[in-house]
Amino acid sequence: MAGRRARRFAADGADVVVVAPALRDERLEHLVRGDQVTWLPRPVQQGDIQGSWLVLAATDDPATNDAVAQWAHAAHVWCIHASQARAGSARMAASSQHGEVLLGVVSDGGVDPARVAAVRDALADHLDSGAVDLRRRRR
């Protein structure tokens, strides 16, 4: 998840910093090699969120994600909590692009991510089927 989201943030122009002892995702390695993402090769520390306005807590350790979310809350920084969405202060939509239309599906934090992705995919299939007129309405 971290690699996929880091790529999306970087593509949207964000300054992305990944703090992790190791990179276990090919997408992250590629982004770091391409200077699209900065990597700090160590465990995350409380001060790492200073100067940020959005933090993604997406480690494989729920306790670390909880700690990052708590630090972000105390610092008034938006936080997406990957292991427990309701513990974060922000959500990220499961999205797909259809020409000039961007489709996004967001849960209230109680739905599992696979279900949200399935809803996104079903809606995307509906759009791609041609059942919805996606022509411009404004000049």
Q: Divide the 139 residues of the chain into consecutive groups of 10 and give the mean pLDDT of each group.
A: 85 93 90 94 94 92 94 95 86 85 83 84 92 83
Residue 137 in domain: no
In a shared domain, residues 6 and 67: yes
What are the structure tokens assigned to 39, written together?
């990597």
Residue 135 in domain: no
Residue 17 in domain: yes
Domain housing 55: 2-87
In a shared domain, residues 45 and 75: yes
In a shared domain, residues 54 and 120: no
pTM of the model: 0.80
CA atoms within 13 A on the CB side of 132: 13
Give pLDDT, residue 4. 83
Residue 138 in domain: no
Give pLDDT, residue 124. 92
In a shared domain, residues 53 and 120: no
Residue 62 in domain: yes
Q: How many domains does the chain have?
A: 2
In a shared domain, residues 74 and 41: yes
85-118 as b/e: b if 16+ CB within 10 A: bebbbebbebebeeeeeebebebeeeeeeeebee
The CATH number given to whatever domain includes residue 65 is 3.40.50.720
In a shared domain, residues 10 and 60: yes
